[in-house]
Copies of this chain bind each other. A is one copy, B any other.
Amino acid sequence: MVIIMENGATKEQIEQVVRRTHDAGLKTQMNVGEQCTVIAVIGDKTALSDTPIESMSGVSRIMPISAPYKLASRQFHEEDTVISVDGVKIGGKQLAMMAGPCAVETTEQIVKIAKYVEASGAQFIRGGAFKPRTGPYSFQGYGESALKMLATAREETNLRVVTEVMTPHEVGLVGRYTDVFQLGTRNMQNFSLLREIGRHGKPVILKRGLSSTIEEWLLAAEYVLAEGNPNVILCERGIRTYETHTRNTLDLNAVPAIKELSHLPIIVDPSHGTGIRSYVPSMAKAAIAAGADGLIVEVHHDPDNSMTGDGVQSLFPDQFNQLLHDLKQIAIAVGREI
User: A326 — nearest CB in chain B belongs to which residue?
Assistant: B333
A283 near B290 with CB under 8 A, answer: yes
B226 near A242 with CB under 8 A, answer: no
A69-B135, A190-B190 known; A289-B288 Cβ under 8 A: yes
Residue from B219, B242, B330 within 8 A of A333 (CB atoms): B330
Q: Does A338 contact B (CB under 8 A)?
A: no
Q: Cβ of A6: which chain B residues have Cβ within 8 Å of it?
A: none
A257 near B279 with CB under 8 A, answer: yes
B282 near A255 with CB under 8 A, answer: yes
Q: Does A20 contact B (CB under 8 A)?
A: no
User: A251 — nearest CB in chain B belongs to which residue?
Assistant: B249
Count of identical protomers in the assembly? 4
Q: How many residues of A contact B (CB 8 A)?
A: 70
B133 near A191 with CB under 8 A, answer: yes
Q: Does A334 contact B (CB under 8 A)?
A: yes
Stretch of A49-57, A103-111, A148-156, A206-214 lying at the B interface: A206-214
Nearest-neighbour CB distance to chain B for A265, whole angstroms, equals: 15
Q: Cβ of A240: which chain B residues have Cβ within 8 Å of it?
A: 211, 242
Complex CA gap A213/B283 in Å reads 19
**Among A256, A329, A334, residue most surrounded by chain B Cβ atoms (within 10 Å):** A256
User: A68 — nearest CB in chain B belongs to which residue?
Assistant: B135
Residue from B43, B68, B282 within 8 A of A290 (CB atoms): B282
Q: Does A287 contact B (CB under 8 A)?
A: yes
**Among A133, A213, A255, residue most surrounded by chain B Cβ atoms (within 10 Å):** A213
A-B CB proximity, top 3 nearest: A211-B211, A289-B289, A329-B333
A residues lining the B interface (CB < 8 Å): 42-43, 68-70, 132-137, 166-169, 186-187, 189-192, 195, 210-211, 213-216, 219, 222-223, 226, 239-246, 249-253, 255-257, 259-260, 273-274, 276, 278-279, 282-283, 285-291, 326, 329-330, 332-334
- Pick 24 A–B contacts, CB within 8 A, sort by A: A68-B134, A134-B219, A166-B192, A168-B169, A169-B169, A186-B190, A213-B243, A215-B245, A245-B257, A246-B253, A250-B251, A250-B252, A252-B286, A256-B279, A257-B279, A282-B289, A282-B291, A285-B290, A285-B333, A289-B290, A289-B330, A329-B329, A330-B330, A330-B334
